[in-house]
Amino acid sequence: MPSSKAKSEKGAIVLESTYVIFFAIIVLCFFLSYGFILYQKAMLHIMTNEVAEEITQSYKFGQEDGDLVTQDMVTGLGRYRYVKNGGQLQSSNQSLGTTMLNPRLSGGSLAIDNGSLSVKVEPETSDLGRMHYTLTVTKHYKFLFDDFMNRVLSSGDNYKPINQVEAVSIVEGMDASFYINASKVGKWLMAKTKNTFGIVDSAISSLNNMASILGL
């Protein structure tokens, strides 16, 4: 029969092994959760880049449902759409971005969806007919140990919670019809300005001639 000392040593080994296994499982789950966070960030960046490219191609039409572009939509474009309907186009494309992202994000997620999908589209004119579109997407998820990681990592002014995943994509676009219209308007203004300056130069020249005749 095993001695009482051997029994106590076996009991201690079993107890210590239980603690070690439990601690190892916690650490494994922690790293697994952090891997899910990295995956969600990478997936959100990929989806944001894809949606930003698609929005850039149809931004001027102001779609909200993502349907195909029709002939009526092309012929119905206003010449000064960014001046007259800039706010409406921005709002419509933000709605389109939300419509496109919702099913894509839910289909490839490895985290619990916590709602609060925010899509922001910011157009910026970089040249005549050329624009940059900045798409900012923010999505909230629920991860394992996210409260613990937020407490540990919550330092710095620019810190954002672990469960708030954000992606930013900047895409360049070209609106050919707007470029043509803007070029025509620019040429017309230059012609009018040139004629106006010509009249002013003639008037100044006439005054100088009169002054020289009068000896002024």
The verdict on 206 and 151 lying in the same domain is no
Contact 99, 121 (CB under 8 A): no
By C-alpha distance, which of 135, 133, 121 is closest to 173? Answer: 133
The alpha carbon of residue 91 and the mean position of all alpha carbons in its chain are separated, in whole angstroms, by: 14
Strands (E), 99-197: 112-113, 118-127, 130-142, 164-174
The verdict on 84 and 147 lying in the same domain is yes
Strongest mean pLDDT among 27-41, 172-186, 202-216: 27-41
Q: Is the pTM of this model over 0.75?
A: no
Residue listed under structure tokens 């012609």: 191
Contact 101, 119 (CB under 8 A): yes
Report the domain count for the chain. Answer: 2
Structural domain boundaries enclosing 111: 4-174
The verdict on 21 and 124 lying in the same domain is yes
The verdict on 8 and 26 lying in the same domain is yes
pLDDT in tens, 6-47: 555 666 677 777 888 888 888 888 888 888 888 999 999 999
The verdict on 195 and 107 lying in the same domain is no
Asked whether residue 201 carries a pLDDT value surpassing 70, the answer given is no
Helix or strand or coil: residue 202? helix
The verdict on 109 and 184 lying in the same domain is no
Among residues 174, 190, 205, which one ends one of the domains?
Answer: 174
Helix or strand or coil: residue 74? helix
What is the structure's pLDDT at 51? 92
